[in-house]
Structure 1
Amino acid sequence: MQIIPTSAQLFTCFILSYWATKMYLPIYIIRIDEPTGGVFFLAGEETEILINRNGLWKLL
């Protein structure tokens, strides 16, 4: 089954991408975590973020 990100996740991912590139951090990966439906975001060497289905994010 294919999991599609929610509109809240897409908006949050766009904002986080903007912040990361504004700080000159490369974005290495953006991937959906299939068991939870969250979006995993890796920017720079150690900035790992998980975006929940409701669009809220947290640093890992």
Structure 2
Amino acid sequence: MAQTTKYVIKYKLNGERRFEFAQLVNGSEEEAKAALDAIHGQGEDVISDISVSKAL
């Protein structure tokens, strides 16, 4: 299993600012989008303005 690091993902869900914590391998935007899709499902919600940084 790959080594993971805790990241904070800042994003907008339907225009509302939100954040989530996730264990990611490399902290890429694509990996963060996949984690957000897993959290929110792939319904009609619009996820935008994704930024990823290491959690303190």
TM-score class normalised by the smaller sequence = under 0.3
Normalised by the length of structure 1, the TM-score is 0.27
| Higher relative contact order structure (alpha carbons within 8 Å, sequence separation ≥ 6) | 2
